[in-house]
Structure 1
Amino acid sequence: MMTHSVESAMSVPVRLDEALRLHGLGRPAEALALYDAVLAEEPRHAEALHLSALAALAAGKGALARARVDGALALTPDDADLWRSLALILRAAGEAEAMGRALETALALRPAFPAAALALAESRLAAGDGPGAASLLRQQPDSPEILAALAPLLVGLGDAEGALEAADRRLALEEDDPSAGGLIDRGTALLALGRTEEAIATLRTALALAEGQEAWTARINLADALARQGNWRGAARTYGANAGDFPAVALALASTMPLVPASTADIAEARQRLVTGLETLRERRAFVPDPNALFAGIAHPLLAAHGIDDRLLMADIADTVRGLCPVLGHTARHIGKAPHRGRRRIGVLAPAGAPAGEGIAAALLEGLAARADVEAIALTLDGAEAKAPPAGRGAALPTDLFKAQEALDALELDGLVHAEVGAGARATALAHGRFAPLQVALGGHPATSGLASIDWFVSSAGMEPAGARAHYREALFRLPHPIMPALPPVAEAADRDRLALPGDETLYLCAQPLHRLPPAFDRLAAAILEGDRRGRLCLFRPDEPALAGLLEARMALAGVAAERILWLRRTRRGIYLAALKAVDVVLDAPHWGGDGTARDALALGTPVVAWQGALMRDRRAAFWCAAFGLDEAVVRTAEAYVRQALAFGRDRAKRRAAAERLCAAAPRLFGDPRGLSALVSFLADGPPSAEARPKA
């Protein structure tokens, strides 16, 4: 009675102020009672309707919240704040499309409305429309909140210059008191631009200022920057002694690997750290509820360069990560149910950053789309619009992994092809799930995925050794021939003067990225250059200069002086092909050799010395040499490798004769339809039932 009497004596403005105070103190039910008292006297009080809608939402009364905000909108339909509040209520109700429309109305009424723009940008980003989200934010006036959202978004879209500009504008607003968040955004943008030294300095400053979650963000980005420079031990130290308290960070720490290992001892140390780290995570029964928090340690592409059969280790990694974050193992709703009628629906997840319409994934999509009984769906992960194949469609998967899982669920796929599972974190994270009854990995990353969710690994019969099935956790499907481009490569003018290459020296090119060059390669290069005093070793310069310095230091220990190494720039494909044609000999790398590189070099008439090892990734160049009729270039020992390289390098007539054979062979190989036809039939008609899947 006392409360009622006090409320009755309070004026409407006083009641509204008291209700706001109570709501701000986290007492929405009490606030709602005051709003109800106001509305009992003035049912058309728009402000009370609006504020009571927000209190009802906070109190868990969604239907009442919706009724109140609708009542307020009926009175003041041009109030942008009301439309934003409606969007909040719709989001809580799971009505994403209606929420988006409400936010669009709010922005139409008030174009400079940062809160609405941020909410709508978040919605569009979750739906996979990164460019649309960025456009919304760019239309808003500068504020720390808008720029804090814009900078990382632009990095994710590949616009690092725009991200750096946004971070610098945020820091300018903060003047003499820069925030750790602004510095983190600046350091991340610098890292994406390849300005690693500046990024490291900026991130160190951010780490000194940051607290809580921001400190971990700065620490993680700093570790990434150090790892890119090849400072893998420094990266590990940056994670800190208490990294084990945070499972996602502990996984990243365990997974830290040298990009350019100084020795085989470095490789052994890093691998042991990984094994020990995985064991610790399992023993602690570590748990990560959100897959988006797993920033590193899901994919381990560097293991492929170690020359070891890692089937058991890859399975161990996959199972540990799946146990760490069980939601990665999401199963689509249609799995196990009767297949839908109509055309067989097959999705192809293209590699991140792959040019639209190019590569094996694009060829496969076109081949599938040519089948009347197949609906081919092009899928992308990097925010770029998916290029739909003829008679098919495309879909850009959302950045958020939960949303990406939902998007794949909705497609109800019969088959899902992963073009490069194992190479990138997000693609590998999605590959843990079961989104189709048939899930296949192509050899874009030439090693087993280790995933129980991948049914088949697609390889080429001629590249696999005897007993190859034991190298894969997946069942192994061998194509009768690799999938071939329609036409041989065409190099730009391969004149050495135009490429700034010396005309009087023998040029031996290893075209593989530096992380694929094991310490064993150094000894091979040293012996070749010792046998050919006019010889130079050519390598493509990495984006990170520090890596070149690490390799030069390591090679010096093997006897290769820095002046005997000629660094080339790989600016675009035409220049890369011209370099393959202009050099005298292409050297395949042991452990993880070339595939397309070897094929292109041979098609251009340049002999390739190809190592034939025990694993598929160590035999691809050897396959191409045999296919082009250059069998003498296939070697199995270090002595034979050096001998064959010098035989080509020191004998111009031998190179000329080889070039004639190679160029004559190219037309019969390119455009060969057997590989593509076999893969299309495999996916459209179903895999052979006789193949057994090896035990994990």
Structure 2
Amino acid sequence: MFDKGQSADDLVQRGLALHKQGRLAEARPLYAAALASDPGHAEALHLMGLAAYQQGDFDEALARIEAAIRQRPGVAKYHSNRGNALKEKGRLEEAIAAYRQAIALDAAFADAPFNLGVALREAGDAPGAVRAFQAALRLNPSNVDTRQNLATALYSLGRHDQSIDLFREVLKARPNAAEVHFNLSQTLERAGRYAEAIAEARVALALAPAYAAAAAALHFLMRRCCAWEGMSEVAAVVDANIDAAGPGVRVAETPFLNVGRCDDPVRNLAVARSWGNALANSVSPLFERRPPSPRAEGRIRLGYLSSDMQSHAVGQLMRGLLRRHDHGRFHVSVYSYGRDDGSAYRQDIVRACDAFLDIRDLAHADAARRIHADGTDILVDLNGWTRGHRLAICAYRPAPVQVGFLGYPGTTGCPFIDYAIVDSVVVPPAHAGLFSEALVFLPDCYLVTDDGQAIAGRGPSRAEAGLPADAFVFCSFNGPAKVEPVMFDAWMRILGAVPGSVLWLRHGDDLADANLRAEAERRGVAGDRLVFARAVPGKDDHLFRMGLADLGLDTRIYNGHTTTADTLWAGVPVVALEGRHFASRVAVSCLKAVGLDELATPTLDAYEALAIRLACRPDEIGRLRERLAANRLAFPLFDTARFARHIEQAFETMWRRHEGGERPSPIVVPPCRAVPTP
């Protein structure tokens, strides 16, 4: 009940006192009474809107706050809170404009630049976010939240040392803040300080035992450093979070971490969908899907979107395809948001395109506008959920047809990605329903390769590479995160059965190397039978060195993809295990496409038996190497021109269907006839 003699201002003050205590259900009737007395009371409208915002009703929040602004347009906090409501509704650019309006009205109002920084970071404008948080910190130097967000924005820019220092400052004020320990762990990991990163992730999980994001990150770090003790307990926290997630809830583990940890394609889809739907709901598409219409220009305008157009696995694979595209039928653009490393790969890629656009400094929406303004017909995202992705650009729908390819081995779960390019080995027919995209089945291997990739003409001897001259050399040059206990057990049994053999691995860092040697000792294998290959100057040098090995051993949950193709290109046969999901079936697809089907094994026992048999039969290994040498340029895996014709046929089918008003649906590309290599 309200005293009839109370003014609207009195009612608002009573409501505000309750509001500050979190008693929104009691505050709102007081605001409503104030509005009944004075329908144009700006502060009552604003606070009613703020209460609605806090209760999750963003439509009412926006309507009320905008009504308050109409009454008093010069109040900065109204515009800032309007921005908050707009952001929650996915209207990010309007939110940013509202925050800027608040700053223009009151340059001393610290909440506005703080909120602006959060929005700019979400929009993909990390430099702008840093400037906004720095402005907020100047206004309120003691604000720990601002310092923490500035540290996160600096992390996004790769300014890791500054980010680490700021997170440590925040921890002085909040030593028990699990989120800060987690963020510090992430930054330390990016800086290559893995032992410290693991320690901070463990602190975060100790402070918050159900903190699934910290558990997922810790699990990856444990894999990355081959520190396996207790890994299953950490995974249980991640899985509990996935199992408990209801409809519309984004789980803590990223899709990329999930496919590297879990080989269940049903779970992979659930995780990807939770992230894909959350991203789709966070933005409002800027463009309607272009209606079908006859083309004014004969060529299909094809755009590739990637962070990896440099000396990176994706750039190395794509270089050959970009060279082989039929530019008479396709106008090929690359939209790059990764660094320019000055490498020959980068230079070759730039030369191979009709247009190469560096969009690093563009926010997601501005990048989408550029892609749309260029008239892009088919946009091919090469990152998926891999680190550094900008799927948010695709969420704005800049192209009428959008495709996932190459970088991410699985479904994106994104409703705005229409097609995924696969083959029938990595995605067997029984798995077709476990993708949110319509599937495009290429006839050979989905993995593109570059048949122009050079191998150095000379290089080290076995002794110079640290290998025993007369030993049988198994190799696996995959990153240490792919080396997990089950397959490592098998590798040690193989070494135990082949006296004097060694396993040649990629050097991750000193911690990972030491941990793997210790794990070998625990399994009864001398640690010095593991040899670690450090970086060499060029990819051609690496390929020459790979050829010193006798037999490749592939990994289990996440196969070698580029690594397996490189090992085969270097002339070394590879034994692989046919796994349960896309990421664990790529090596088998490569083997089939190079005519070495017998090296694909259905079980771990068969994998071990085959590796041991081959190591004990040098004549058989010799025949395999001869076949591989003959098949390399005769079979589809390394026929880049053939691959280009197949993927172009897929793109043309997608475009015809769009022009015909059809929805995306599965495409099976038939094998083309032999194409002469130019």
TM bucket (normalised to shorter chain) is: 0.5 to 0.7
Secondary structure (helix, strand or coil) at the match of 1:489 reads coil
Answer whether contact 2:253 2:271 (CA < 8 A) is retained: no
Cα 1:297/1:405, change in 2 over 3 Å: farther
* Paired position in structure 2 for 1:539: 505
> In the alignment, which residue of structure 1 is the partner of 2:545?
580
Q: Give the counterpart of 1:673 among 614, 631, 641.
A: 641
Paired residues of 2:324 and 2:640 also in contact (CA < 8 A): no
Q: State the Cα distance separating 1:167 from its structure 2 match.
A: 0.4
* SS in structure 2 at match of 1:567: strand
Tell me the secondary structure at the aligned position of residue 183 of structure 2: helix
- Say if 1:418 and 1:440, in contact at 8 Å, map to a contact too: yes
Q: Relative to structure 1, is the Cα distance of residues 479 and 430 closer, same or farther in structure 2, using a 3 angstrom cutoff?
A: farther
> For the Cα contact (< 8 Å) 1:329–1:434, is it kept in 2?
no
Question: Which range is displaced more, 443-452 or 107-116?
Answer: 443-452
Which moves more between the two structures, 387-396 or 179-188? Answer: 387-396
Superposition deviation, residue 650 in structure 1: 14
Q: 1:339 offset after TM fit, Å? A: 3.0
Q: What's the CA shift for 1:608?
A: 0.9
- Paired position in structure 2 for 1:617: 586
> Measured at CA, do residues 690 and 97 of structure 1 come closer, stay the same or move farther in structure 2, by a change above 3 Å?
closer
Aligned-pair identity (%): 18
Instruction: Name the counterpart of 2:354.
Output: 390
Q: CA deviation at 1:539?
A: 1.0
Q: Is the 8 A contact 1:488 1:670 kept in 2?
A: no
Q: 1:146 — aligned with what?
A: 146
Hey, what does 1:57 align to over in structure 2?
49
**Count of residues paired in the alignment:** 606
SS at match of 1:677: helix
**Partner residue in 2 for 1:370:** 327
Does the 8 A contact of 2:547 with 2:572 survive in 1? Answer: no
TM-score (norm 1): 0.63
Give the match for residue 43 of structure 1: none
- CA offset at residue 144 of structure 1? 0.8
Q: Answer yes or no: is the 8 Å Cα contact 2:520–2:527 preserved in 1.
A: no
**Which stretch has the larger CA shift, 450-459 or 510-519?**
450-459
> Is the contact made by 1:90 and 1:99 (CA closer than 8 Å) also made in structure 2?
yes
Deviates more, 1:331-340 or 1:593-602: 331-340
The Cα shift of 1:133 comes to 1.9
> What are the Cα deviations for residues 263-314 of structure 1, in whole angstroms up to 9, with x where unaligned?
xxxxxxxxxxxxxx7xxx7xxxx6142336454698424566xxxxxxxx52
Q: What SS does structure 1 have at the residue aligned with 2:531?
A: strand
Counterpart AA for 2:315 = E
CA deviation after TM superposition for structure 1 residue 675, in Å? 1.1
1:562 paired with 2:560, answer: no
Task: Verify the 8 A CA contact 1:508 1:649 in the aligned structure 2.
Answer: no
Amino acid at match of 1:541: H
Provide the C-alpha distance between the structure 1 equivalents of 2:618 and 2:521, rounded to a whole number of angstroms: 23
Within the candidate set 452, 455, 459, 1:494 is matched to 459
Cα deviations across residues 117-160 of structure 1 (Å, max 9, x unaligned)? 22112222232323432343245345311122233444455554
Q: Aligned to 1:339, which of 251, 269, 292?
A: 292
CA drift at 1:508: 4.8
Q: Specify the SS of the correspondent of 1:587.
A: strand
2:36 & 2:666 partners in 1: Cα distance? 71
Instruction: Note the aligned Cα RMSD (angstroms).
Output: 6.4
**1:195-228 Cα distance to aligned partner (Å, 9 max, x none):** 44434443444455559x8x66656655555565
1:345 Cα deviation after fit: 6.4
Contact 1:121/1:136 (CA < 8 Å) preserved in 2? yes
- 1-structure distance, mates of 2:7, 2:463: 88
Q: Deviations over 1:82-120 (max 9, x none)?
A: 764664576688764344234335446766754222211
In the alignment, what sits opposite 1:476?
A: 441
Distance 1:573 1:19, change over 3 A: same
Larger radius of gyration: 1
Is 1:683 the equivalent of 2:651?
A: yes
Match of 2:315 among 358, 361, 376: 358
Check conservation: 1:84, 1:102, Cα contact below 8 A. yes
> Within 1, Cα distance between the matches of 2:528 and 2:118?
52
> Matched residue of 1:182: which SS?
helix
Structure 2 gap ranges (5+): 53-59, 434-438, 580-584, 658-664, 670-678
Counterpart position of 1:256:
none
Which of 122, 128, 133 is the aligned partner of 2:129? 133
TM-score in terms of structure 2 length: 0.64
List alignment gaps of at least 5 residues for structure 1.
41-47, 253-276, 305-312
SS in 1 for 2:441: strand
Structure number with greater CO (CA < 8 Å, separation at least 6) is: 2
Q: Which residue of 2 aligns with 1:250?
A: 240
1-side partners of 2:240 and 2:152: how far apart?
24
Query: Amino acid of the residue matched to residue 240 of structure 2?
Result: A
| 2-structure distance, mates of 1:153, 1:329 | 19
Match of 1:183 in 2: 181
Q: How does 1:208-607 map to 2 (within 5 A)?
A: 209=207, 221-222=217-218, 225-226=221-222, 228=224, 234-238=230-234, 250=240, 252=242, 287-291=246-250, 293=252, 295=254, 299-302=258-261, 314=265, 316-317=266-267, 327=277, 339=292, 342=295, 348=304, 350=306, 358-360=315-317, 370=327, 378=335, 390-391=354-355, 417=380, 419=382, 442=405, 457-459=421-423, 474=439, 476-479=441-444, 483-485=448-450, 487-491=452-456, 494-495=459-460, 501=466, 508-514=474-480, 515=482, 517=487, 519-528=489-498, 530=499, 533=500, 536-543=502-509, 545-546=511-512, 549-550=515-516, 553-554=519-520, 557=523, 560-570=525-535, 574=539, 577=542, 580=545, 583-585=548-550, 587-589=552-554, 594=560, 596-597=562-563, 599-601=565-567, 607=571
The superposition leaves residues 7-53 of structure 1 with CA deviations (integer Å, 9 ceiling, x where unpaired) of 49xxx9x899668547646536745876999999xxxxxxx96x456
